[in-house]
Amino acid sequence: MEIHALRYDQKRQWSATLPPVDSQRTLILMFGSSHFVDSADPIRELIDHYPRSVVIGCSTAGEILGTQIFDESLSAAIVRFDHTDIKMASAPAGSPDDSFKAGQDIAQQLHDARLKGILVLSDGLCVNGSELVRGVNSMVSDSVVVTGGLAGDGDRFRRTWVLQDRRPQAGFVTAVGFYGDRIRIGHGSKGGWDRFGPERRVTKSKGNVLFELDDRPALLLYKEYLGDRAAGLPATGLLFPLALRADESDSKSLVRTILGVDEREQSLTFAGDIPEGALAQLMKANFDRLVQGASEAATSTKLSTDGGPRTLAIAISCVGRRLVLGGRTEEEIEATLDVLPQGTQQIGFYSYGEISPYATGTCDLHNQTMTLTTLSEAA
């Protein structure tokens, strides 16, 4: 397994010579600013260099390369596997109603008895991430590791893209499948937020749109908590995500973050489903626990695989974590590499949602987590 990581910088050039590793077992991962949908020349330059390779990527709220975070750039990893077959899949998802079928479609395209894992990258604004994940889960066994994330657009929430037909486009879900007995896929996902305020019942919702909590308009209630920060919605809502659990006996909670608001309906749109009857509680940042959460995600990842020094780590963290951590954001991606095997190369992005198993088994949509996927091959 051969790994190369590089970056297209503000000097309008790639940081390293493009390696001659084009093959059907070569994977190109690319994460970049949303503006590349208008000026895709550097994307085309890289992709055209690898006509036989599998290409996947998306827009971001910040690009991760090693222990650094960049904006308005492209980060890329070029991975040539020695023993692992890979395959690309995609499906249209122009509205939340398409999400479940899109998940089923990509899983069907990748189906094979040798399938070991799927990395999913999705449009970040047109997709209901919960339904997308349910669609994938309905078609694959628990033994298939499914991870990934939703594309970002900084704190703007205007447009996102994924690489579809080898060019950046909105309204699609893409994925790559990994096949064979030698591939090793590790995964981990942790948060680090503190809950506050009362736990409230979701009394009116539809899909990923929340209308009422305890029979009160959701947006009105949210604004009461945000105070002066309410004027900055939906971006400031990232600082106060919701923790959801099915009922009082449920020990498993998922985090949901805001994608949009509707003043007329007094509603909030989230990256994933908000089921009626669920219990919801606001959360706020704890700086040290956010960084510790990233470290714990890396520990979980390391425990779930026997990857060695030739390991690629794909770090997908929520844009809300970046807004909260501010100047300390790089601490969380330094914390992951401190735990992972020495020599691990890290690439990733800040997202509008993270896809990973909660611990084991089928995947879930998460928000406000650091989610790690590691790829390596057994000797």
Task: Give the pLDDT confidence of 228-276 residue by residue, as tens digits.
Answer: 888 888 888 888 889 999 888 887 788 888 888 999 999 999 888 999 9
The verdict on 23 and 98 lying in the same domain is: yes
More confident residue, 76 or 13: 76
Residue 206 CA to residue 264 CA, distance in Å, equals 16
The verdict on 163 and 198 lying in the same domain is: no
pTM over 0.85, yes/no: yes
Task: Give the pLDDT confidence of 309-344 residue by residue, as tens digits.
Answer: 689 999 999 998 998 888 889 999 999 999 998 899
Element (H, E) at 290: helix 287-303
The verdict on 264 and 309 lying in the same domain is: no
Q: Say if residues 32 and 63 touch (Cβ distance below 8 Å).
A: yes
The verdict on 50 and 108 lying in the same domain is: yes
For the chain, what percent of residues have pLDDT higher than 90? 69
Phi-psi region of 334 (alpha: psi -120 to 50; beta: other; left: phi over 0): alpha
Please report where in the chains the tokens 């690898």 appear, as a residue: 50
Residue 365 CA to residue 224 CA, distance in Å, equals 27
The verdict on 203 and 312 lying in the same domain is: no
The verdict on 159 and 233 lying in the same domain is: no
Q: How many CB atoms lie within 10 A of CB 45?
A: 14
Helices (H), 111-250: 129-137, 218-226
The verdict on 169 and 61 lying in the same domain is: yes
Crossing angle of the two packed helices 287-303 and 330-339, in degrees rounded to 10: 30
Provide the domain limits for residue 296: 2-190+288-377
What is the C-alpha radius of gyration for the chain, rounded to an integer number of angstroms? 19
pLDDT band at 32 (very low <50, low <70, confident <90, very high): very high
| Mean pLDDT across 62-86 | 96
The verdict on 125 and 172 lying in the same domain is: yes
For the chain, what percent of residues have pLDDT higher than 70? 98
Closest CA to 61 of 271, 282, 211: 271
The verdict on 352 and 220 lying in the same domain is: no
Please report where in the chains the tokens 């594309």 appear, as a residue: 151
Provide the residue type at 249 as one letter.
S
* Overall number of domains in the chain: 2
pLDDT of residue 255: 87
Please report where in the chains the tokens 């996102």 appear, as a residue: 160
